[in-house]
Amino acid sequence: KTNTLSPSIPTSIISDPIFIYMASSSSSSAIGAIKESRASIVVLSKNYATSTWCLDELILILEQRRECNHFVLPVFYGVEPTDVRNQKGSFTIEVKPSSKWTYDNVCMWKTGLTEVASLAGEVVSGPETRILKKIVDTIYDKLDRKEVPLPPNLIGMTTHDKKINFWLEQCNLEFLVIYGMGGSGKTTLAKYIYDSNQKYFEYVSFVEDIGSTCKGDNDLLKLQEQLLKDILGGKKRKIPGVSRGTCIIGQALEMKRALIVLDDIVDHKQLVALLGTGKINAQSKIIITTRENPDKWFDLSCWRFQKYEMKLLNDDESSELLCRHAFGCKVPMSGFEELVLQAVQYCEGNPLALEVLGSSLFKNDAENWASQLRLLERDIDFRVQGVLIRSYASLPNKTVKKLFLHIACFFVGKDMDYVSKILEPDYSAISGIKTLINRYLLFVSPNKKLMMHRLLQEMGKSIVRQESDLPAKRSRVWLSSDSYKILKKGIGSETIEGLALDMIMLHAENYAFKIEVKEEDVNGEEICLSSVVKHDRICSLEIGKRMEKDRTTKTCESIIYRVKNGFANAIWCIWETIRRTFTTSQRCQNYQVLIELWHSHQACLKGKRNLALNLIRNHILALNDLQNSMNQK
């Protein structure tokens, strides 16, 4: 029966060597064919287990499978897979008084039969022609060597290739963790590796977009079932619960040699639920993409991994990627050079943004380019926003989300220690900033300034804009022109948590005024902080008394902020570029006042108070009325 089945397989359509075991093959030629082939079809018939020659070659085939990614397809011809797996019926083998049927050999053959029966195969129970076509299709899919085209947005692939090929060749590194900012090309790179190498593995699975699809246990259960189906060769298996699913997948991963991609993991718990924590087949390769630094994920695990940080593109690479999508070539068309430069500066090396922007500008004239770029200064593209906002949505709590929005709107480019000191009491800024850095939403420059990718900053501002069409009803106002109108009309006090004023800009545009910021504490006492910017045109403005204690008023170079770092009543005041006079009124006398003056000419401090002064690059001629100020620093 083996002879009638095997010659019917049209191996001529397959360019790669394939070994089909036939009873007429000689031992030496069969061994050579197995070692030179990339796949073997093992036809298991009723008399298979009576031949020591067949059993020895099965052991060789399985060794090739473990060591050389040799694909094995068992065909159960007139026998049940369970009989082969459990050595029952015609597959019962025992020790015999023979030099071949020794105890050691029998144990080895039993292990081999159990292993081959556990592989995904074909059971011949109907017309042979239909089964033969299915077998051929399976082998063809596994051995097809079609070249996978390089994705157009994978610029600088030479660098990627070296590190990735090193990982693929290592037997002691099961995991590759690709991490970085949203839109940086992590999924694109993982898909390219998957497409290029899946033919070398028996089982493959690509679980996409886990972060946005996995919201609860039911979603996680569906992902487990998808993964288990893939690594069991298409066999569906119902999973009763997540914890049970983790155990089943863990057991399968010990036996199966698989290539798995888990795309957009946002929580270590998702990784454990999908893979367990046990041993993984040394021949398997698992790729994880995430927006979080994965250093702590593998601390207590036996898993071995290699990290790969997805760097943003430099200006030359960015220009090439943008031009590929906008013009269909690597360089800008004549007359578009400056516009391409502006677009590259806006995207700051983010491949997704470059691809989206380039595609949207395809076949547009220079006037439309300029108009589109002006629009982006006010509103981020929704396709880019949709990807980036996942990082914000995955933040662990509302406090960290508020901290991100505060930094995006007011504190980008500011000293990290300085910002931490101001925001720590209300936002746990020290730990929160660390979280944002680990999630690639923030980074620290060499001189310890808090920096944020421009698109992330625009995304944060867009989140605030969506709160209301009216700036006065938003939580944060960073445009000085909006702040001026809000202060002048005395509106927005119930909703505004932060407000920015660029004194230099307002002064240049004749917006000069006197600002009084009034706040009420729980006892109803008012605090008044005032700064006279220009004497000849003064209009009194105030933020209403309902302003909550944790609100911020920031003047581009100026901040008024209440802090609670151990003081019952404390105000932090930072005034920069105040050319005239800084004063505090009598109403501050019961409060701990911490003041930083930058570039001021005079400071008038009235009332009895605890006072801390930081005088930076000042030309102060007088510090008046300090006799009532205690504990000056």
Q: What is the pLDDT of residue 511?
A: 55
Q: Are residues 79 and 174 in the same domain?
A: no
**Is 435 part of any domain?**
no
Q: Rg of the chain's alpha carbons, rounded to an integer?
A: 34
Read off the pLDDT of residues 277-288 as tens digits, 9 standing for 90 and up: 778 888 889 999
454 lies in some domain: no
pLDDT of residue 458: 92
Residues 243, 258, single domain; the answer is yes
> Cα separations (Å) of 388 from 6, 183, 211, 236, 250?
54, 7, 12, 35, 32
Least confident of 224-238, 410-424, 488-502, 564-578: 564-578
pLDDT(491) > 90:
no
Catalytic residue among 57, 320, 576, 596: 57
pLDDT in the model for residue 503: 62
Structural domain span for residue 243: 157-309
Domain CATH number, residue 43: 3.40.50.10140
Under the banding of pLDDT at 50, 70 and 90, the label for residue 492 is low
Give 252-299 pLDDT, tens digit per residue. 888 788 899 999 998 888 888 898 877 888 888 999 999 988 887 776
What is the model's pLDDT at position 399? 94
Contact 543, 579 (CB under 8 A): no
Domain contains 458? no
Please check the confidence at residue 314 and state whether its pLDDT lies above 70: yes
Asked whether residue 69 falls in the same domain as residue 188, the answer is no
Residues 109 and 24 in one domain: yes
Which domain CATH number covers 272?
A: 3.40.50.300
What tens digit of pLDDT does each residue of 54-98 get?
999 999 999 888 777 788 899 998 899 999 999 999 899 888 888
Decide if 248 is inside a domain: yes
Q: How many CB atoms lie within 10 A of CB 103?
A: 9
Compute the mean pLDDT over every residue in the chain, rounded to the nearest whole number.
76
Domain boundary among 378, 394, 412: 378
Residue 465 placed within a domain: no
Residues 293, 261, single domain; the answer is yes
In a domain, 217, yes or no: yes
Q: What is the pLDDT of residue 33?
A: 83
Q: Where are the beta strands (DSSP E) in 21-162?
A: 39-44, 71-77, 122-124
Q: For the segment 153-210, what is each residue's pLDDT rounded down to a tens digit? A: 567 666 677 788 888 887 777 889 999 999 998 998 899 889 888 877 878 999 998 9
On whether both 69 and 183 belong to a single domain, the answer is no
Annotated active-site residue 338? The verdict is no
Give the tens place of pLDDT for each residue, 534-572: 222 222 233 333 333 344 444 434 444 333 333 233 344
Work out how many domains the chain is built from and give that number. 4
Residues 243 and 345 in one domain: no
Per-residue tokens: 289: 């993409």
**Taking the C-alpha atoms of 249, 65, 192 and 251 in order, what is their torsion angle to the nearest 10 degrees?**
10
pLDDT for res 507:
61
Q: What is the mean pLDDT of residues 333-347?
A: 92
Which pLDDT belongs to residue 504?
64
| 158 close to 327: Cβ distance less than 8 angstroms | no
Average pLDDT over residues 382-406: 91
Angle at 340 between CA 339 and CA 341, to 5 degrees: 90
Residue 164 and residue 120 share a domain: no
Structure tokens at 200: 């070398």
